[in-house]
Every structure is written in C-alpha cells, then in structure tokens.
Amino acid sequence: MFAITEGTRRIGGIDVPTYKREIVSANILEVEAGTNGYQGGDTGHGSRTYFRIENQGGTDIQVHPLGRYGDEGFEVSLGGDYELETIIMALKFITKVLEDGAKEVYD
C-alpha cells in the first residue's frame, strides 16, 4: 500500500484540503490534489480546485503553458512506458480525490 498525506493549500485566499502521495515505478511522481467542493457558482462563490504532479526522479516529462501568460491552459508530454504507467495512476488518484471532495458529481 502507499502512504497518503493530508494537507492544506491556500488557493485564491481560501484554504483547500489536499491529499498527497508518491507513485513509484522506474520513475517517481509526487501527486497532490484537493478541492473544497461545489460552492454554488463561479470563482466568486469560493469553490477552489487544485492539483500538482511533480517529478521526484527519472520522469521524462515536459509541461508547456498555453497562452501568453499561461492562463489558457497547459499541455503535458511524457516519454517512456513507465511514465505512461505512473501518469495513469497519478490521474486516477487526482480524479478520486476531486470526486470525493466534490461531494456530488454531475455527469
């Protein structure tokens, strides 16, 4: 089994509960995600969502911001079989944390 650490991130002036874990294979990723759930509207209503994927060793990963200031999104590319394996596990962890934190899911 793997250890999950609870924490808090301050996002836009609001504390957001987060969960963090390492994903270890031939490469290592650290993943952290959290949300304070639905708050009834846009960013002014206070809903915040956060995730982070960090190379802790041996990961062939590149991230590129989109837009002049990176405010239009980002793209991620990885190289290697183990990178495929660990990013799948990372994204599953992020999805689980956010779904649990949302307290209700809209399809």
Q: What is the pLDDT of residues 15-72, one digit of tens each?
A: 999 999 999 999 999 999 999 999 988 888 999 999 999 999 999 999 999 999 999 9
pLDDT band per the 50, 70, 90 thresholds, residue 101: very high
Radius of gyration of the chain (CA): 15
- Cα dist. 24→36, 76, 87 in Å? 28, 19, 11
pTM, two decimal places? 0.91
Q: Is the pLDDT of residue 107 over 70?
A: no
